[in-house]
A = this chain, B = another copy of it.
Amino acid sequence: MRISLDRRADRAGRVPLARQIQLHIERLIGQGLLGPGVKLPATRDLARQLGVNRTTVALAYDELVAGGWARAHVGAGTFVAEQVPAGEVARPAAPRFDWTGFLSKSAQVVAADARRRDRGRGPRPGPGLISFAGGMPDSGLFPTDAFRRVLNRVIREEGRELLQYYPARGYPPLREFLAGYLLRFGLEARADEILIVNGSQQGFDLIARTLLDPGDFVAIEQPSYPRAMQVFRAFGAQMLPVPMVAGGLDPDYLERLLERQSPKLVYCQPSAHNPTGLTMTAAARHRLWEVASRHRLPVVEDGFDGTLCYGERAPAPLKALDSAGLVVYIGTFSKILFPGLRLGWIVAAPDLIERLELAKDLADIHTSPLIQAAVYHFCRQRLLDRHQVRVAREYGRRRDALLASLERRMPPGVRWTESQGGFSLLVTLPDGMDAAALLDRAVERGVAFTPGTAFFVDGAGEGTLRLSFSGLATTQIDEGVKRLADAIRESERQPDRGARDRQPSVPLV
């Protein structure tokens, strides 16, 4: 605490030192700068720091306690009171600088996108609400304790190196492990073709800043993952939507599009597509690769996690077909392990990986090597394999329950995608029904979802919504679908209610 004292306080008419200290601390408390329960400095320390007598500080503290600003605990010290006295000090109103006119074009695009996203967000989860919003893994399934033990061992054995600055490319054993892990899916990559990043989100960011200039176009399947689109737009790109057929981006539509437009890249999620949960067929993948290759169109393949598939195994990633180094593959541990670690990777041709590494180095120097090493050892001890089997089975059960409930309970005219992977599926409402308006009725009945507009370019998809099954027990799923079906029937009877503005709540992933 740095307090400026008026040293001439001894003379008549000046505020005494103890009173100055008291008023200063009252102001800090009143403005919330010293929070409830915070310990004040020891009188000895503050006196030394201010160069005043210790009794002066003690006097100030006594006054604070007497005024109800603080509590004294003998032997423990003086603490800010839990309740600030009535008539609290207001923060002095200074002419505040207005940042609005100082924002970059990118920040303006980001803000506009955020406003649109917030409109599409669900309500705050209340008690009894069954929420199909979210799209995150169930933290109840996390192998938290196994990870704790691995982390503990890693920091004991390699802590000193892992807490120091580290090369941007990433922890070499993790990159070696990933080379082997990706082979399981048919993707052949050497460790030097892999860059470690903070989740797939940072993957989008590094790719966008390395490849996109303002005014560029990005071809993207429709619907698609909003966070990827937002990043591309933040770097000045415009989206060219490509419809989906047969579980993925329509390669023939893309080819016709390429006759008229020259997008800088195409972004797609061939497996466990968010929001539909669909998987592109092997034939369509070959066709897409053939089109992209012929037109020299870079492909950004969002791999999500090919292991979270239900039923048949997903075909090999596009990157596995990529003999020319045209595909940039993004992978992540966020879905199959822990989102909170923020750990993912990019696979690309060596010369592009070098550029992406430079971007990573400027973005945040490197991803925490401690986290990288812990995940590596977790994988090496086959704990990831075991966890994957367990969660794929559980999420598969939830997905089956959701499909069965939809089949049983939904009124005619409602359609949905047969999710084959990931955490969600997309519902299409009866003609003319608006998902944002439906959300209000649904929440009244105790169920929530994500309106579909966020997944579409330029405000399409009003009649769609995303249901995530990953976070709900099977019994909740059926009850939630029942409530949703009731809300849809009610909307069919009384169609005329607009959507209300809502505050943001959970992050949209």
Contacts and interface: CB of A to CB of B under 8 A. Distances in A.
A53 interface: no
Given A326-B97, A340-B162, A210 B104 contact: yes
A49 B265 CA distance: 34
A94 interface: yes
A68 interface: no
B152 A164 contact: no
A340 B358 contact: no
Nearest to A216: B104
Contacts of A362: 110, 201, 205, 227, 230-231, 234
Given A99-B349, A99-B352, A183 B2 contact: yes
A442 to B, nearest CB: 23
Interface string A73-96: 000000000000000000010111
A264 B338 CA distance: 40
Interface string A229-244: 0110011000000000
A368 B340 contact: yes
Contacts of A1: 183-184
Most buried by B among A97, A161, A506: A97
Nearest to A189: B33
Interface string A295-310: 0101000000000000
A198 interface: yes
Contacts of A156: 145, 148
Interface stretch (A250-258, A316-324, A480-488): A316-324
A363 B184 CA distance: 30
Contacts of A410: none
Interface in A207-246: 209-213, 227, 230-231, 234-235
Contacts of A34: 180, 183
B365 A368 contact: no
Contact of A159 (B92, B142, B201, B212): B142
B359 A320 contact: no
Interface in A365-387: 365-371
A473 interface: no
A266 B153 CA distance: 45
A461 interface: no
A283 interface: no
A204 to B, nearest CB: 8
Contacts of A111: 355, 358
A364 B340 contact: no
A329 to B, nearest CB: 14
Contact of A190 (B31, B103, B209, B361): B31
Interface string A23-44: 0000010011111001000000
Given A35-B176, A152-B148, A366-B342, A163 B142 contact: yes
A433 to B, nearest CB: 30
A341 interface: yes
Given A110-B358, A142-B160, A165-B339, A2 B186 contact: yes
Interface string A130-141: 000000110110
A354 to B, nearest CB: 9
B164 A363 contact: no
A199 to B, nearest CB: 6
A59 interface: no
A381 to B, nearest CB: 13
Given A111-B358, A364-B342, A509-B165, A33 B183 contact: yes
Contacts of A325: 94, 96-97, 99
Contact of A507 (B147, B167, B202, B298): B167
A312 to B, nearest CB: 14
Given A140-B160, A340-B370, A365-B507, 19 more contacts: A2-B185, A34-B180, A94-B323, A98-B351, A99-B349, A99-B355, A107-B210, A107-B359, A142-B159, A144-B155, A147-B163, A148-B152, A148-B159, A197-B364, A201-B363, A231-B362, A361-B507, A368-B371, A371-B371
10 contacts: A97-B326, A99-B355, A106-B209, A136-B164, A145-B159, A162-B340, A163-B340, A165-B334, A202-B364, A205-B364
